[in-house]
Structure 1
Amino acid sequence: MRSITTKLILAFLAVSLISIGVIVASIRFSTNREFDKFISNQYETELAEELVKYYETNNTWDNVNTARLGRTATQFGPQGDKPSNFCVTDIQGVVVMESFAHKIGDTVSLDVLNQSIVLKANDITVGHLLIERPPDKRDPMEDEFIKRLDLSLFLTAIGTIILAFIFGAILSRTITRPIRELTKATHEMAGGNFGQQVPVRSRDEIGELAASFNKMNGDLNRSFNLRKQMTADIAHELRTPLSLIIGHAEAVHDGVLPPSKENFEIIREEAERLEQLVKDLRTLSLADAGELSVEFQPVDINKLLGDIQSHYMIQFNQKRIALNLEPAPVILQVNLDPIRFSQVLTNILDNALRYTPEEGSVAITINKNDKQAEISIQDSGNGVTPEDAAHLFDRFYRADEARNRNDGGSGLGLAIAKSIVEMHKGSIWAEIEKGKGLKVIIHLPLIQQ
């Protein structure tokens, strides 16, 4: 099987051969034609001069023939038994020197005379020269010139073909180099070595392909690492409640701990935590697969947020945290699933309630941003670092790794929130401002009236 480099070289060479062949043939044909035309014009001028000179010498056209003229007349003259290629007439158009088409004494028509070369001696018209066809052959010097020209064209064509082969080889290797690099990186990927990057050497289609490959490979590498991390995180998250459940159950069974209500309550709480973790994982996997059931309907965002504020007011009051809602001045209709979207807001408000200190505040603001509804939830907690803000919606991510699960949850709430928001064709992200806690912003497309 021929490589693409060989195919490109052969293609360049074939195009070059065809192009050079056409160019050489065209140049040779045009050169020969124009050279013959030039020689013919030169011969005609020289022949006219010889005839005028003959008339000036003899003062008559009597006995004029090629033998009594110069070299040019001989070139135009009869070749062997062939008649002459030109004839001469006097001023009345009577032929005084015959040719293969006109005999001596014939009278040439006025139309033919109008196309002839006028012969003048001392500025007086003395006759006409009719060229009936060009000379039959060139002289040796003219033939030598054409031969040298043909040789030059041939050598030029050979040199051009060699250059075309060299440049074709260089160009084909240049074109196929990124393809070879992509092939090598692809083989590395097939062997499980993700993270391969190829240099982007141009801005054409191949450069775009290399850039797309790098992005795809980077995404695959991140996805692979996230999957490994997620597997480890799931094992870690499941191990903690299971260890507590098994440890307390064995301790009660062995009599180390009394079968008291407090010990059974610990087992029940950890079992509930384990059940909630499994539910969150199922919800997240369904959302990622696009199989999470949703029932879209037009919803007034102001009303939905007002209901959620009322639901959370008791919990926020118990912790002495103000929960304020600033609705939009107009009705904002959004096509969404109110139950699923309430889960998004619940996860965000749970975090705000958990990390906002007493006497703090959480502000919910609703605005219209172009063709989108914007919901922002700002708390007055300590906030997070910019690095943490960029990963808040990652699975099992905790800004504070030291906090325990009684305070921090499973680390899946915001990841679920992000998946649900994206199912609604929206976007969600976190912003931080020094001294103002954390702000979570959600954009949802409005229903166009």
Structure 2
Amino acid sequence: MNKKKTSLLPKNFLFRLTFINIFIVSIFIALSSWAVYNTACFLVDSMGTMTGTNQTKFNKTLYYYLWIFSLIAMITGSIAHFYLTKRLIHPLKRLIESTKSMKKGNYPEPIEVTSSDEIGQLTSNFNGLAHQLKKNHEQRQKLVMDLSHEVRTPLANLNGYLYALKNGVIEGDPALYESLYQESERLTKMITQLETLKEWDYISEQSFFEKEMAPIGKLLHETVKMFEWQLKEKQIAVEIDAEDADLLVDKEGVLQAISNLTENAIRFYSGEGIISIKGERLANEYYIAITGPSYPITEKEGEKLFERFYRVDPSRSRDTGGSGLGLSITKEIIEQHKGDIGWKTDEAKNTFWFTLPLETACTSR
């Protein structure tokens, strides 16, 4: 029963609106006709050019034609108002049909916006809302699928070893505990990165976010210091060649982007040579490139580099491949800063680079 009432809403609204308009217009037409009639009769009578019989005949004739013209105006105006109003509120009917479709869990196609008035703005906003809800739904589905795939293996390993330890099938030793601890650490890091990715997903939908002036050269040196112990342990040398420039950025976000790419260069380091970090001020942007010896990345692999949960190494092992979220986070951060990000392979070296616009930047002094 409620469904029937909802489907009749546009029609009932159109009839109510037309009735109210006809009622008001009819009153004003009747009052205007009455005023015209009395004024005309008074003026003719005051001229004194008519006899009583002719005056009475004139009054009746005028009264008759005023009623005819008034009725014609009411009927014509009502018909014109009905069809014009019907055309005007037609988008509302489509909006109602689309909202009913969304209520059933479907995501309708965008409604064509044919005007810039209030109804046009409402339609445009509804299209944006439907698109965002569809996007959020798809992201949630993909995230759940990715999480179930990524978490299943480490949890199965942990549960298997813990069950075996519990039942005395195996005995614990430092090496086993270290392995279990690292598996737990990977899960913890994955959850932390997912929280970071969710935060940047949210920021990407906002029209602005907090920025501050930051010396990009200093940020590059600070990032390398964070990996100092790993570099010493693996005996990897790092060379930094960066021009000084102050950029208006989210400092923590840019630090994380540089850190993610530096960690990648260390994690996948193979062969000989140094890790090179370059910062260069170009005409309209600041260019940062991190290059390190590693196995070549094919064009096919490169197409998926910045996808969530994709690992760069050929075996896609969790031991060397990380969580597969670092590059996705970096991409979100750089794109939110209106910059570009990419990669290139040169023989036995891979370079990951990104740019930050200089529109709101000034050279350091």
TM range (shorter): 0.5 to 0.7
Residue in structure 2 matching 1:168, options 74, 78, 81: 81
Matched, 1:202 2:202: no
Which deviates further from its counterpart, 159-168 or 277-286?
277-286
Which deviates further from its counterpart, 431-440 or 274-283?
431-440
Which residue pairs with 1:305 in the alignment?
220
Equivalents in 2 of 1:417, 1:232: separation in Å? 22
Alignment of 1:399-438 (within 5 A): 403-417=316-330, 426-427=337-338, 429-431=340-342
Alignment of 1:222-241 (within 5 A): 222-241=135-154
The CA deviation string for residues 33-92 of structure 1, in whole angstroms up to 9 with x for no partner, is 78x49xxxxxxxxxxxxxxxxxxxxxxxxxxxxxxxxxxxxxxxxxxxxxxxxxxxxxxx
Equivalents in 2 of 1:405, 1:19: separation in Å? 81
Assess, with a 3 A threshold, how the Cα gap between structure 1 residues 194 and 355 changes in structure 2: closer, same or farther: farther
Which residue pairs with 1:325 in the alignment?
241
Alignment of 1:75-90 (within 5 A): none
Residue in structure 1 matching 2:14, options 5, 30, 45: 5
Which residue pairs with 1:213 in the alignment?
126
Let me know the Cα RMSD of the aligned residues. 4.9
- Checking the alignment, whether the CA contact within 8 Å between 1:300 and 1:334 is kept in structure 2 is no
Matched, 1:440 2:354: yes
Assess, with a 3 A threshold, how the Cα gap between structure 1 residues 354 and 396 changes in structure 2: closer, same or farther: same
How many residues are treated as equivalent by the alignment? 339
Equivalents in 2 of 1:321, 1:154: separation in Å? 100
Query: Aligned partner of 1:430: which letter?
Result: I
TM-score, structure 2 as length reference: 0.68
Q: Secondary structure at the match of 1:325?
A: strand
Query: Aligned partner of 1:231: which letter?
Result: V
Which residue pairs with 2:26 in the alignment?
17
Assess, with a 3 A threshold, how the Cα gap between structure 1 residues 309 and 400 changes in structure 2: closer, same or farther: closer
Equivalents in 2 of 1:209, 1:20: separation in Å? 34
Matched, 1:151 2:83: no
Residue in structure 1 matching 2:279, options 365, 372, 383: 365
Which residue pairs with 1:183 in the alignment?
96
Which deviates further from its counterpart, 296-305 or 355-364?
355-364
Alignment of 1:115-126 (within 5 A): none
Equivalents in 2 of 1:149, 1:420: separation in Å? 79
Equivalents in 2 of 1:24, 1:384: separation in Å? 83
Query: Aligned partner of 2:219: which letter?
Result: L
Which residue pairs with 2:183 in the alignment?
270
Equivalents in 2 of 1:385, 1:19: separation in Å? 75
The CA deviation string for residues 313-362 of structure 1, in whole angstroms up to 9 with x for no partner, is 8849969897553324xx41657555x64333211333355568867976
- Checking the alignment, whether the CA contact within 8 Å between 1:301 and 1:333 is kept in structure 2 is yes
- Checking the alignment, whether the CA contact within 8 Å between 2:265 and 2:275 is kept in structure 1 is no
- Checking the alignment, whether the CA contact within 8 Å between 1:327 and 1:365 is kept in structure 2 is yes
Equivalents in 2 of 1:31, 1:385: separation in Å? 90
Structure 1 unpaired stretches of 5+: 38-132
Assess, with a 3 A threshold, how the Cα gap between structure 1 residues 274 and 309 changes in structure 2: closer, same or farther: closer
- Checking the alignment, whether the CA contact within 8 Å between 1:429 and 1:441 is kept in structure 2 is yes
Equivalents in 2 of 1:301, 1:162: separation in Å? 74
Assess, with a 3 A threshold, how the Cα gap between structure 1 residues 448 and 366 changes in structure 2: closer, same or farther: closer
Q: Report how far residue 231 of structure 1 moved.
A: 2.6
The CA deviation string for residues 352-409 of structure 1, in whole angstroms up to 9 with x for no partner, is 5556886797654354887xx84544659647679957x93x6545689973333432
Bigger RCO (CA 8 Å, 6+ sep): 2
The CA deviation string for residues 209-262 of structure 1, in whole angstroms up to 9 with x for no partner, is 112112111111211221232233223322221112233444567787675665
- Checking the alignment, whether the CA contact within 8 Å between 2:277 and 2:289 is kept in structure 1 is yes
Q: Report how far residue 309 of structure 1 moved.
A: 4.3
Greater share of helix residues, 1 or 2? Answer: 2
Alignment of 1:346-357 (within 5 A): 346-352=259-265
- Checking the alignment, whether the CA contact within 8 Å between 1:377 and 1:440 is kept in structure 2 is yes
Query: Aligned partner of 1:4: which letter?
Result: F
Alignment of 1:223-262 (within 5 A): 223-250=136-163
Query: Aligned partner of 2:341: which letter?
Result: A
Q: Report how far residue 206 of structure 1 moved.
A: 0.9
Alignment of 1:31-110 (within 5 A): 36=44
- Checking the alignment, whether the CA contact within 8 Å between 1:316 and 1:322 is kept in structure 2 is no
Equivalents in 2 of 1:146, 1:319: separation in Å? 114
Structure 2 unpaired stretches of 5+: 204-209
Equivalents in 2 of 1:360, 1:145: separation in Å? 110
Equivalents in 1 of 2:265, 2:325: separation in Å? 15
Which residue pairs with 1:105 in the alignment?
none
Query: Aligned partner of 2:354: which letter?
Result: V
- Checking the alignment, whether the CA contact within 8 Å between 1:309 and 1:323 is kept in structure 2 is no
Assess, with a 3 A threshold, how the Cα gap between structure 1 residues 248 and 134 changes in structure 2: closer, same or farther: closer
Q: Secondary structure at the match of 2:138?
A: helix
Which residue pairs with 2:255 in the alignment?
342
